């Protein structure tokens, strides 16, 4: 009789462990999906901000180019045209970020770094472990009694 009871307990325990494992997996999948959704929304906001900034900066850039060109022609000084060069770099960068392929190129470079330059991604002193966290916690809480 004890054998039947223990066999039933073992089966129940095994079923409960499987349920807990499936539940943990489901929770992890939900967390990963949520984190990806948040990342996508943040990137969409960054692109939208860049496009909005481009509208205002493009207007400023256009007015500045026209004004500086008119000033250079009127005063016969080509030095007035020099501010157009750095402003055009900023304009081109913002355009590439908002409407071009900058994000795809950045993604490709990031993938390349992840694949070929893993040593540059390592944390100083290696990965954080539970033991290192406990050691730091104990050092910071010397005022409290540690058991």
Q: What is the pLDDT of residue 144?
A: 63
- Look at 13-22, 75-84, 91-100, 122-131 and tell me which has the smallest mean pLDDT: 122-131
Which tops the pLDDT comparison, 73 or 12?
73
Reported as a single tens digit per residue, the pLDDT across 115-137 is: 999 888 888 888 888 888 888 88
Q: What is the pLDDT of residue 41?
A: 96
- Overall pTM surpassing 0.75 (yes/no): no
DSSP line for the chain? -HHHHHHHHHHHHHHHHHHHHHHHHHHHHHHHHHHHHHHHHHHHHHHHHHHHHHHHHHHHHHHHHHHHHHHHHHHT-GGGGTTHHHHHHHHHHHHHHHHSSHHHHHHHHHHHHHHH-HHHHSPTTSS--HHHHHHHHHHHTTTS---
User: Where are the chain's structural domains?
Assistant: 1-99
Which tops the pLDDT comparison, 70 or 143?
70
């Amino acid at each position: 009789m004890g054998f039947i009871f223990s066999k039933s307990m073992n089966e129940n325990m095994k079923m409960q462990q499987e349920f807990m494992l499936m539940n943990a997996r489901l929770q992890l999948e939900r967390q990963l999906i949520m984190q990806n959704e948040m990342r996508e929304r943040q990137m969409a906001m960054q692109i939208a901000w860049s496009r909005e900034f481009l509208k205002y900066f493009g207007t400023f850039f256009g007015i500045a180019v026209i004004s500086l060109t008119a000033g250079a022609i009127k005063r016969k000084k080509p030095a007035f045209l020099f501010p157009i060069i750095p402003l055009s770099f900023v304009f081109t960068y913002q355009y590439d970020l908002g409407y071009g392929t900058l994000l795809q190129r950045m993604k490709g470079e990031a993938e390349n770094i992840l694949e070929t330059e893993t040593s540059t991604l390592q944390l100083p002193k290696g990965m954080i472990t539970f033991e290192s966290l406990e050691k730091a916690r104990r050092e910071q809480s010397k005022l409290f009694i540690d058991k």
